[in-house]
Amino acid sequence: MARYLLTRAWQSALTLLLSTIVVFFGVRALPGDPALALAGEDRSPEALEAIRRHYGLDQPLPVQFAQYVERMVQGDFGVSIRTGTPVSSMLTTALPVTVELSVLAILLATALGVGAGVLAAVRRGRPAEWVANGMALIGLSVPHFWLGLLAILYLSVATGLFPASGFVPILEDPVDNLHHIVLPAVILGTGLAAIIMRQTRSAMLDSLSSDYVRTAKAKGLRPRAVITQHALRNSLIVVVTVVGLQLGGLISGAVVTEQIFGLPGFGKMTIDAVFQRDYPVIQAVVLLTATAYIVINFLVDLLYSVIDPRIRVTGDPA
Protein backbone atom coordinates (compact mmCIF):
# COMPACT_ATOMS: atom_id res chain seq x y z
CA MET A 1 0.00 0.00 0.00
CA ALA A 2 2.82 2.39 0.85
CA ARG A 3 4.25 1.84 -2.61
CA TYR A 4 0.92 2.48 -4.25
CA LEU A 5 0.42 5.70 -2.33
CA LEU A 6 3.96 6.85 -3.01
CA THR A 7 3.54 6.25 -6.73
CA ARG A 8 0.28 8.13 -6.74
CA ALA A 9 1.71 10.99 -4.69
CA TRP A 10 4.66 11.30 -7.03
CA GLN A 11 2.42 11.22 -10.11
CA SER A 12 0.14 13.87 -8.64
CA ALA A 13 3.08 16.08 -7.78
CA LEU A 14 4.41 15.74 -11.31
CA THR A 15 1.03 16.61 -12.82
CA LEU A 16 0.82 19.59 -10.50
CA LEU A 17 4.22 20.81 -11.63
CA LEU A 18 3.30 20.35 -15.30
CA SER A 19 0.04 22.22 -14.90
CA THR A 20 1.85 25.08 -13.19
CA ILE A 21 4.25 25.26 -16.12
CA VAL A 22 1.31 25.30 -18.53
CA VAL A 23 -0.35 28.15 -16.67
CA PHE A 24 2.95 30.01 -16.41
CA PHE A 25 3.42 29.93 -20.16
CA GLY A 26 -0.26 30.56 -20.69
CA VAL A 27 0.12 33.80 -18.81
CA ARG A 28 3.07 34.75 -21.01
CA ALA A 29 0.99 33.95 -24.08
CA LEU A 30 -1.60 36.53 -23.09
CA PRO A 31 -1.88 39.32 -25.59
CA GLY A 32 0.14 42.38 -24.72
CA ASP A 33 2.80 43.13 -22.15
CA PRO A 34 2.33 41.05 -18.98
CA ALA A 35 3.45 44.06 -16.98
CA LEU A 36 0.62 46.00 -18.55
CA ALA A 37 -1.78 43.24 -17.67
CA LEU A 38 -0.57 43.17 -14.09
CA ALA A 39 -0.44 46.91 -13.68
CA GLY A 40 -4.13 47.57 -13.41
CA GLU A 41 -5.09 51.21 -13.32
CA ASP A 42 -1.67 52.80 -12.95
CA ARG A 43 0.14 52.44 -16.27
CA SER A 44 2.87 55.00 -15.89
CA PRO A 45 6.32 53.85 -17.06
CA GLU A 46 7.60 53.96 -13.49
CA ALA A 47 4.77 51.77 -12.27
CA LEU A 48 5.40 49.30 -15.10
CA GLU A 49 9.10 49.23 -14.29
CA ALA A 50 8.29 48.58 -10.64
CA ILE A 51 6.01 45.73 -11.61
CA ARG A 52 8.65 44.24 -13.90
CA ARG A 53 11.05 44.25 -11.03
CA HIS A 54 8.54 43.01 -8.48
CA TYR A 55 7.46 40.10 -10.66
CA GLY A 56 10.98 39.50 -11.92
CA LEU A 57 9.97 39.92 -15.54
CA ASP A 58 13.50 41.09 -16.30
CA GLN A 59 14.99 37.79 -15.05
CA PRO A 60 15.74 34.64 -17.12
CA LEU A 61 12.81 32.23 -17.56
CA PRO A 62 13.75 29.54 -15.01
CA VAL A 63 14.25 32.20 -12.36
CA GLN A 64 10.94 33.76 -13.29
CA PHE A 65 9.28 30.39 -12.97
CA ALA A 66 10.82 29.75 -9.57
CA GLN A 67 9.67 33.15 -8.35
CA TYR A 68 6.26 32.49 -9.85
CA VAL A 69 5.89 29.22 -7.98
CA GLU A 70 7.07 30.89 -4.80
CA ARG A 71 4.43 33.60 -5.11
CA MET A 72 1.69 31.09 -5.85
CA VAL A 73 2.61 28.94 -2.87
CA GLN A 74 2.44 32.03 -0.68
CA GLY A 75 -1.02 32.72 -2.06
CA ASP A 76 0.12 35.85 -3.84
CA PHE A 77 -1.99 35.77 -7.00
CA GLY A 78 -1.58 39.46 -7.63
CA VAL A 79 -4.16 42.19 -7.57
CA SER A 80 -7.41 42.29 -9.49
CA ILE A 81 -7.12 44.75 -12.36
CA ARG A 82 -10.73 45.76 -12.01
CA THR A 83 -11.27 46.08 -8.29
CA GLY A 84 -7.73 46.55 -7.07
CA THR A 85 -8.29 44.02 -4.30
CA PRO A 86 -5.85 41.14 -3.87
CA VAL A 87 -7.04 38.07 -5.81
CA SER A 88 -6.47 35.90 -2.75
CA SER A 89 -9.03 37.80 -0.72
CA MET A 90 -11.53 37.58 -3.58
CA LEU A 91 -11.00 33.83 -3.53
CA THR A 92 -11.60 33.55 0.19
CA THR A 93 -15.05 35.02 -0.20
CA ALA A 94 -15.94 33.22 -3.43
CA LEU A 95 -14.63 29.72 -2.76
CA PRO A 96 -16.88 28.73 0.17
CA VAL A 97 -19.95 29.33 -2.01
CA THR A 98 -18.65 27.10 -4.79
CA VAL A 99 -17.44 24.41 -2.42
CA GLU A 100 -20.79 24.27 -0.67
CA LEU A 101 -22.64 24.14 -3.96
CA SER A 102 -20.42 21.37 -5.34
CA VAL A 103 -20.40 19.24 -2.22
CA LEU A 104 -24.17 19.41 -1.99
CA ALA A 105 -24.49 18.57 -5.68
CA ILE A 106 -22.14 15.59 -5.34
CA LEU A 107 -24.03 14.26 -2.34
CA LEU A 108 -27.38 14.59 -4.06
CA ALA A 109 -26.09 13.13 -7.32
CA THR A 110 -24.44 10.18 -5.60
CA ALA A 111 -27.51 9.32 -3.57
CA LEU A 112 -29.77 9.57 -6.57
CA GLY A 113 -27.37 8.01 -9.07
CA VAL A 114 -26.39 5.02 -6.94
CA GLY A 115 -29.98 4.40 -5.89
CA ALA A 116 -31.33 4.53 -9.43
CA GLY A 117 -28.40 2.53 -10.80
CA VAL A 118 -28.90 -0.29 -8.32
CA LEU A 119 -32.62 -0.27 -8.95
CA ALA A 120 -32.16 -0.45 -12.72
CA ALA A 121 -29.72 -3.36 -12.43
CA VAL A 122 -31.80 -5.31 -9.95
CA ARG A 123 -35.06 -4.74 -11.83
CA ARG A 124 -33.45 -5.62 -15.13
CA GLY A 125 -35.93 -5.84 -18.00
CA ARG A 126 -38.80 -4.44 -15.96
CA PRO A 127 -40.51 -1.06 -16.11
CA ALA A 128 -38.39 0.33 -13.27
CA GLU A 129 -35.29 -0.20 -15.40
CA TRP A 130 -36.80 1.54 -18.40
CA VAL A 131 -37.79 4.52 -16.31
CA ALA A 132 -34.38 4.76 -14.65
CA ASN A 133 -32.56 4.38 -17.98
CA GLY A 134 -34.77 6.96 -19.64
CA MET A 135 -34.26 9.46 -16.83
CA ALA A 136 -30.51 8.92 -17.01
CA LEU A 137 -30.46 9.49 -20.77
CA ILE A 138 -32.41 12.69 -20.34
CA GLY A 139 -30.22 13.78 -17.45
CA LEU A 140 -27.22 13.20 -19.68
CA SER A 141 -28.68 15.13 -22.60
CA VAL A 142 -30.34 18.09 -20.96
CA PRO A 143 -28.33 21.30 -20.80
CA HIS A 144 -28.54 21.80 -17.06
CA PHE A 145 -28.15 25.57 -17.25
CA TRP A 146 -31.34 25.53 -19.29
CA LEU A 147 -33.02 23.47 -16.59
CA GLY A 148 -31.86 26.13 -14.18
CA LEU A 149 -33.39 28.84 -16.36
CA LEU A 150 -36.68 27.00 -16.53
CA ALA A 151 -36.57 26.38 -12.80
CA ILE A 152 -36.14 30.08 -12.15
CA LEU A 153 -38.81 31.08 -14.65
CA TYR A 154 -41.42 28.50 -13.80
CA LEU A 155 -40.58 27.58 -10.22
CA SER A 156 -38.97 30.48 -8.41
CA VAL A 157 -40.62 33.40 -10.16
CA ALA A 158 -43.99 31.78 -10.63
CA THR A 159 -44.43 30.10 -7.26
CA GLY A 160 -41.95 31.94 -5.09
CA LEU A 161 -40.98 28.60 -3.58
CA PHE A 162 -37.29 29.23 -4.01
CA PRO A 163 -35.37 32.49 -4.31
CA ALA A 164 -34.44 33.18 -7.94
CA SER A 165 -31.02 34.46 -7.08
CA GLY A 166 -28.72 35.60 -4.34
CA PHE A 167 -26.89 33.92 -1.53
CA VAL A 168 -26.77 33.93 2.25
CA PRO A 169 -23.61 32.65 3.93
CA ILE A 170 -24.13 29.45 5.84
CA LEU A 171 -22.75 30.95 9.06
CA GLU A 172 -25.19 33.81 8.89
CA ASP A 173 -28.38 31.83 8.49
CA PRO A 174 -28.04 28.11 7.73
CA VAL A 175 -31.69 27.64 6.84
CA ASP A 176 -31.83 30.55 4.47
CA ASN A 177 -28.49 29.44 3.06
CA LEU A 178 -29.90 26.02 2.23
CA HIS A 179 -33.00 27.62 0.82
CA HIS A 180 -30.86 29.57 -1.62
CA ILE A 181 -28.52 26.80 -2.58
CA VAL A 182 -30.63 23.66 -2.77
CA LEU A 183 -32.19 24.39 -6.16
CA PRO A 184 -28.86 25.24 -7.81
CA ALA A 185 -27.35 22.11 -6.27
CA VAL A 186 -30.14 19.92 -7.63
CA ILE A 187 -29.71 21.46 -11.07
CA LEU A 188 -25.94 21.06 -10.96
CA GLY A 189 -26.28 17.48 -9.77
CA THR A 190 -28.54 16.24 -12.58
CA GLY A 191 -25.78 15.55 -15.09
CA LEU A 192 -23.55 13.90 -12.51
CA ALA A 193 -26.44 11.82 -11.20
CA ALA A 194 -27.09 10.53 -14.71
CA ILE A 195 -23.47 9.54 -15.21
CA ILE A 196 -23.24 7.89 -11.80
CA MET A 197 -26.48 6.03 -12.45
CA ARG A 198 -25.27 4.60 -15.74
CA GLN A 199 -21.92 3.53 -14.34
CA THR A 200 -23.49 2.05 -11.22
CA ARG A 201 -25.99 0.15 -13.32
CA SER A 202 -23.39 -1.42 -15.56
CA ALA A 203 -21.06 -2.18 -12.65
CA MET A 204 -23.97 -3.76 -10.79
CA LEU A 205 -24.96 -5.83 -13.81
CA ASP A 206 -21.39 -7.11 -13.96
CA SER A 207 -21.30 -7.91 -10.25
CA LEU A 208 -24.73 -9.47 -10.26
CA SER A 209 -23.67 -11.93 -12.94
CA SER A 210 -20.32 -12.59 -11.28
CA ASP A 211 -19.27 -15.86 -9.75
CA TYR A 212 -19.04 -14.44 -6.24
CA VAL A 213 -22.64 -13.33 -6.34
CA ARG A 214 -23.59 -16.83 -7.44
CA THR A 215 -21.65 -18.07 -4.41
CA ALA A 216 -23.50 -15.63 -2.16
CA LYS A 217 -26.84 -16.86 -3.48
CA ALA A 218 -25.77 -20.47 -3.04
CA LYS A 219 -25.04 -19.67 0.60
CA GLY A 220 -28.71 -18.86 1.09
CA LEU A 221 -28.33 -15.11 1.61
CA ARG A 222 -31.35 -12.89 1.16
CA PRO A 223 -31.46 -10.89 -2.08
CA ARG A 224 -30.99 -7.71 -0.09
CA ALA A 225 -27.81 -9.05 1.50
CA VAL A 226 -26.56 -10.36 -1.84
CA ILE A 227 -27.03 -6.91 -3.35
CA THR A 228 -25.69 -4.74 -0.55
CA GLN A 229 -22.96 -6.93 0.94
CA HIS A 230 -21.63 -8.42 -2.25
CA ALA A 231 -22.67 -6.76 -5.50
CA LEU A 232 -22.85 -3.11 -4.39
CA ARG A 233 -19.65 -3.20 -2.38
CA ASN A 234 -17.71 -4.07 -5.49
CA SER A 235 -19.59 -1.57 -7.63
CA LEU A 236 -18.76 1.28 -5.25
CA ILE A 237 -15.19 1.20 -6.46
CA VAL A 238 -16.50 2.25 -9.85
CA VAL A 239 -18.69 4.98 -8.37
CA VAL A 240 -15.79 6.53 -6.50
CA THR A 241 -13.72 6.64 -9.68
CA VAL A 242 -16.53 8.22 -11.63
CA VAL A 243 -17.06 10.97 -9.08
CA GLY A 244 -13.34 11.73 -9.13
CA LEU A 245 -13.17 11.87 -12.90
CA GLN A 246 -16.34 13.91 -13.25
CA LEU A 247 -15.03 16.60 -10.95
CA GLY A 248 -13.86 18.62 -13.93
CA GLY A 249 -17.32 18.53 -15.42
CA LEU A 250 -18.74 19.53 -12.07
CA ILE A 251 -16.45 22.57 -11.81
CA SER A 252 -17.50 23.62 -15.32
CA GLY A 253 -21.12 23.13 -14.33
CA ALA A 254 -20.72 25.10 -11.13
CA VAL A 255 -19.50 28.10 -13.09
CA VAL A 256 -22.66 28.20 -15.20
CA THR A 257 -24.98 27.40 -12.35
CA GLU A 258 -23.60 30.24 -10.27
CA GLN A 259 -23.99 32.55 -13.22
CA ILE A 260 -27.65 31.64 -13.61
CA PHE A 261 -28.60 31.77 -9.97
CA GLY A 262 -26.46 34.80 -9.29
CA LEU A 263 -24.43 33.01 -6.63
CA PRO A 264 -21.35 35.05 -5.73
CA GLY A 265 -18.92 32.14 -6.15
CA PHE A 266 -15.80 31.25 -7.95
CA GLY A 267 -17.64 30.74 -11.24
CA LYS A 268 -19.17 34.17 -11.33
CA MET A 269 -15.82 35.64 -10.46
CA THR A 270 -14.27 33.74 -13.36
CA ILE A 271 -16.76 34.85 -15.98
CA ASP A 272 -16.65 38.45 -14.84
CA ALA A 273 -12.86 38.29 -15.04
CA VAL A 274 -12.93 37.02 -18.63
CA PHE A 275 -15.08 39.89 -19.79
CA GLN A 276 -13.06 42.45 -17.90
CA ARG A 277 -9.77 40.95 -19.06
CA ASP A 278 -8.85 40.63 -15.41
CA TYR A 279 -5.84 38.42 -16.09
CA PRO A 280 -4.56 37.93 -12.54
CA VAL A 281 -7.96 36.58 -11.56
CA ILE A 282 -8.17 34.29 -14.59
CA GLN A 283 -4.73 32.96 -13.89
CA ALA A 284 -5.53 32.26 -10.25
CA VAL A 285 -8.76 30.55 -11.20
CA VAL A 286 -7.13 28.27 -13.76
CA LEU A 287 -4.27 27.31 -11.49
CA LEU A 288 -6.52 26.74 -8.52
CA THR A 289 -8.92 24.55 -10.46
CA ALA A 290 -6.11 22.36 -11.71
CA THR A 291 -4.66 22.07 -8.22
CA ALA A 292 -8.02 21.22 -6.71
CA TYR A 293 -8.66 18.59 -9.36
CA ILE A 294 -5.29 16.95 -8.84
CA VAL A 295 -5.47 17.02 -5.05
CA ILE A 296 -9.01 15.68 -4.91
CA ASN A 297 -8.19 12.85 -7.29
CA PHE A 298 -5.27 11.95 -5.12
CA LEU A 299 -7.69 11.78 -2.21
CA VAL A 300 -9.94 9.59 -4.33
CA ASP A 301 -7.01 7.24 -4.80
CA LEU A 302 -6.61 7.12 -1.04
CA LEU A 303 -10.28 6.31 -0.70
CA TYR A 304 -9.85 3.57 -3.27
CA SER A 305 -7.30 1.89 -1.16
CA VAL A 306 -9.72 1.93 1.74
CA ILE A 307 -12.49 0.30 -0.29
CA ASP A 308 -10.43 -2.17 -2.29
CA PRO A 309 -8.33 -4.56 -0.24
CA ARG A 310 -6.44 -5.63 -3.35
CA ILE A 311 -4.83 -2.21 -3.34
CA ARG A 312 -4.72 -1.80 0.41
CA VAL A 313 -2.82 -4.97 1.02
CA THR A 314 -0.54 -5.58 -1.90
CA GLY A 315 -0.42 -2.31 -3.71
CA ASP A 316 -1.41 -3.53 -7.14
CA PRO A 317 -4.46 -1.76 -8.40
CA ALA A 318 -6.94 -4.29 -9.70
Segment 136 to 155, residues that bind another protein, using CB under 8 A: 137-138, 140-143, 145-147, 149-150, 152-154
Closest distance between another protein and the C-beta of residue 171, in Å? 28
- Using CB under 8 A, which of the segments 10-18, 64-72, 98-106, 180-188 binds another protein? 10-18
Task: Find the binder of another protein among 219, 228, 299, 317 (CB under 8 A).
Answer: 219
What count of residues does the chain have? 318
Task: Find the binder of another protein among 71, 82, 123, 277 (CB under 8 A).
Answer: 277
Task: Find the binder of another protein among 108, 234, 238, 265 (CB under 8 A).
Answer: 234
**Using rule CB under 8 A, residue 13 touches another protein:** no
Nearer to another protein, 92 or 215 (CB): 215
Residues 278-297 that bind another protein (CB under 8 A): 279, 282, 285-286, 289-290, 293-294, 297
**Using rule CB under 8 A, residue 161 touches another protein:** no
**Using rule CB under 8 A, residue 298 touches another protein:** no
Residues 242-261 that bind another protein (CB under 8 A): 245, 247-249, 251-252, 255-256, 259-260
Task: Find the binder of another protein among 128, 170, 221, 303 (CB under 8 A).
Answer: 221
**Using rule CB under 8 A, residue 310 touches another protein:** yes
- Using CB under 8 A, which of the segments 64-72, 79-87, 110-118, 302-310 binds another protein? 302-310
Closest distance between another protein and the C-beta of residue 90, in Å? 16
